[in-house]
Structure 1
Amino acid sequence: MLVGSGLGLSGMAAGMAGTHGLWLALSGALLLLVWLLAANLLLAKQHPVVPAVTPGAPDEAQIAHHLLLDASPTPLVLVAGRTVRTMNRAARRLFATDDRILPPPTPLFDRDATHLRHAGRNWRTDRVEVGDRSVVALIDIESEERTAEACASAEMIQVLGHEMLNGLVPIVSLAECGIVAAEARDENPGLLTEILTTLARRAEGLRRFTEAYRELARLPLPLRLIVSVEDMLNDLARLFASRWPDVRLSVDIEPGLWVEIDRDQMNQACWALLQNAVEAIELGDASSGMIDIRASMDDNVLTIEIRDNGPGVPPDRVRGIFRPFYTSKPSGSGIGLSLARQVMQAHGGTLTLISPSPAIFRARVPRACTSNDGVLADRV
């Protein structure tokens, strides 16, 4: 009886923790559930008893099972043949039924379907096959997106507040020193000028940070046109050679690649990746610096890889490299990689670090146009 009650209470605790986003509490409740189930099985093996219940009455395990399902905030449905039934309270509330769902959403019968739209919301379908039946969990995509946006906003505010505070504290201190120096300028006439010069320099640094933040936060929507990847990367190579003549840049482009992108934004993203590679090389032996950039098309997806022979990304910094204003380089701004990833995401693509040493970044842009029709090319 105690084990069954514990199962029920643990299930309810897990449901409440999941609803309120208390992930640590959710993990603890789930671990307790596993322990209680194991203990229940062990007791059943050691002391088998015939339950004194009336025929057809649910036992403790069934009650705990139903309590756990009902406490889950994720709608669960059972698909059997052409019939779909609700499995918990969240599903009954979503489909406004106590049992069968009529009419059932068509994507629930498609084992390859991953999404459906119902009640004006988009849902991701996570499916588990149990024989000829399927248990489908419906994940609220919009809720996930809101949670991700809230986390990103909180992180951005934290970074912004940290950087602003770091910039303002010395400015306030210098201003106070300037007041003291102004009152005693006869004793040291050059001190006030020195303080004001330092003050101006720190204020300028804070202004540059604010401009960089505004640039990152106001990335416009891509203006897509048909672009030759070869022309775009060759132009970047010429600019690179004039900017960093001592670093060798190798360009390998699959011929005949045409994509529908915002060329200015993509140039900016690729340039940020190249600059990041140069800054990494400068941490080592810059005289032997080499950067490779490769572009290819696979399954109608443009892939651009940039690698360098620098010291690589330290393991403890891999997770933070795309974070805004995060940098480990003396001359880095912490903007380039974050901005490059935003550009790729705005194009429906991705930017990932596929190897920390040697550092290899891979940008992928889907729905690329493979046509090199002259009329389309004239639009560039």
Structure 2
Amino acid sequence: MLTPERRRTLTAFGSGVLLTAGGAAALAAAQAGMWGTLLGAGGVVAWALALGCWVAARRGGAPAPAPAARSDGPIAALLDQVPVPLLRIEGEGVRAINRAARALFVADDRIPAPPGALTDPAQRHLRHAGRRWRIDAVTLGEAHRLAALIDVDAEEHAAQERAQDEMIDILGHELLNGLSPIVSLADSAVTAAAQGDAMLGDILATLARRAEGLEGFTRAYRALARLPDPVVAPVALDELADDLARLFRGRFGETVTLTVRADGTATLDRGQVVQAVWALLQNGAEAALTAPALPRVTLSITGGARLTIEVADSGTGIAAADRARIFRPFHTDKAGGSGIGLTLARRIARAHGGELVLLDTGETRFRLTVPV
């Protein structure tokens, strides 16, 4: 069935065709002296003009159709499938935008008696339905916000699962790498013993070294996995720095220059912090020894409202591709390295409520911070 608009369009098109055809016929009849044909063609032209004017008059006089209301149906349907609860906050009123929000607050649209954390723009966290949520909000006006509730517990569980998967992969890789040569050497030792081969002693010595290496790896993993809670006490930072300087000189002697600056006091687990900073100093010294510049390491310890420890070295720096991997357990590019030094140092910093980061500077500089 034709709509009125389509009928008007077809009528106007037909009128144009008749007008064109009638004009052409009138011109041909006038040139040929066919006056009767000319009169008929003129009538067709007049009729086509009258029809076109009538259609135009009707179109102009008819009220313009109201624009179709904009439909948010597809957008609403899309938002309804988002698994994250979405809310519209207007002053003290909170409305659920999608299915996840309606299910969380057991409401159809307007949420009765919403939690105070939702209506307070300064709040960033909410505890509801026995779970922790992070409020990610966008302000659209003075009292109008759109908020997404992020399940903090689910995020932490997912992160833990990823960490466990990565740890299992690393352990499997390292254990297989350690066991494969041990199995091979054991077979060689059995063959050598059966044949009275004089190489049996060397084979057994190599086998013992590989077994010791695997044992060292296992002990390193246990040290990383079983870090005890810190037992904190006030510590004079200059004495802490002196202990670390003596350890450094005993290990590297005069081959690497160590510059130390320390000031203030802090409350921390002295043994754990010494272990963390020693790992940074040892890494720095080993990196400095491989560079063409004069090997040097700088240690800076500052107390106050926040304990800040920085270790820098004169090495060639850490490649961009390795910067994201240096804190991964057992990641190392040094022969014989365990790959847990930096990982353990970061765990110690975080156990104290702080953090260990690699600064984005021209030189290799680690910063360990602990709130006091």
Q: TM-score range by the shorter chain?
A: 0.7 to 0.9
Give the partner amino acid of 2:173.
Answer: H
Q: RMSD of aligned C-alpha atoms?
A: 2.0
Structure-2 residue corresponding to 1:160 = 171
Shift of the alpha carbon at 1:119? 1.4
The answer as to 2:302 corresponding to 1:293 is no
Structure-2 residue corresponding to 1:354 = 359
Conserved? CA contact 1:221–1:346, under 8 Å? yes
Give ranges in structure 2 of 5+ residues lacking alignment: 1-64
CA spacing shift, 1:282–1:98, aligned 2, 3 Å: same
Structure 2 residue aligned with 1:143, among 151, 154, 161? 154
Q: Based on CA coordinates, which of the two structures has the bigger radius of gyration?
A: 2
CA spacing shift, 1:356–1:170, aligned 2, 3 Å: farther
Cα distance between partner residues in 1 of 2:337 and 2:292: 18
Structure-1 residue corresponding to 2:182 = 171
CA spacing shift, 1:331–1:225, aligned 2, 3 Å: same
Structure 1 residue aligned with 2:76, among 66, 76, 79? 66
Conserved? CA contact 1:252–1:294, under 8 Å? yes
Cα distance between partner residues in 1 of 2:126 and 2:148: 12
Give the partner amino acid of 2:236.
Answer: S
Structure-1 residue corresponding to 2:236 = 228
Give the partner amino acid of 2:298.
Answer: D
Conserved? CA contact 1:248–1:289, under 8 Å? yes
Give the partner amino acid of 2:175.
Answer: M
Shift of the alpha carbon at 1:356? 6.2
Could you list the per-position Cα deviations for residues 268-320 of structure 1 after superposition, in whole angstroms to 9, with x for gaps in the alignment? 1011111111111122248x21111122357x322211100011112221111
The answer as to 2:192 corresponding to 1:192 is no
The answer as to 2:259 corresponding to 1:250 is yes
Where 1:219 maps in the other structure, the secondary structure is coil
Structure-2 residue corresponding to 1:18 = none
Cα distance between partner residues in 2 of 1:84 and 1:76: 10
Structure-2 residue corresponding to 1:111 = 121
Please give the TM-score of this superposition, normalised by the length of structure 1.
0.76
Conserved? CA contact 1:313–1:356, under 8 Å? no
The answer as to 2:323 corresponding to 1:318 is yes
Cα distance between partner residues in 2 of 1:336 and 1:173: 30
Percent identity between the two aligned chains: 47
Shift of the alpha carbon at 1:52? 8.9
Structure-1 residue corresponding to 2:347 = 342
Cα distance between partner residues in 1 of 2:67 and 2:365: 66
Structure 2 residue aligned with 1:122, among 118, 122, 132? 132
Conserved? CA contact 1:281–1:308, under 8 Å? yes
Where 1:278 maps in the other structure, the secondary structure is helix
Conserved? CA contact 2:237–2:303, under 8 Å? no
Could you list the per-position Cα deviations for residues 325-375 of structure 1 after superposition, in whole angstroms to 9, with x for gaps in the alignment? 111122422110000001011111111111364100011112x0xxxxxxx
Structure 1 segments (4+ residues) deviating >3 Å: 50-53
Structure-1 residue corresponding to 2:273 = 266
Give the partner amino acid of 2:258.
Answer: L
Cα distance between partner residues in 2 of 1:214 and 1:234: 29
- Of stretches 92-101 and 271-280 in structure 1, the one that deviates more from structure 2 is 92-101
Cα distance between partner residues in 2 of 1:296 and 1:215: 28
Structure-1 residue corresponding to 2:283 = 276
Structure-2 residue corresponding to 1:44 = none
Give ranges in structure 1 of 5+ residues lacking alignment: 1-49, 369-380
Shift of the alpha carbon at 1:76? 1.1
Cα distance between partner residues in 2 of 1:208 and 1:357: 34
Could you list the per-position Cα deviations for residues 31-68 of structure 1 after superposition, in whole angstroms to 9, with x for gaps in the alignment? xxxxxxxxxxxxxxxxxxx7997x7xx72xx1111112
Shift of the alpha carbon at 1:139? 0.8
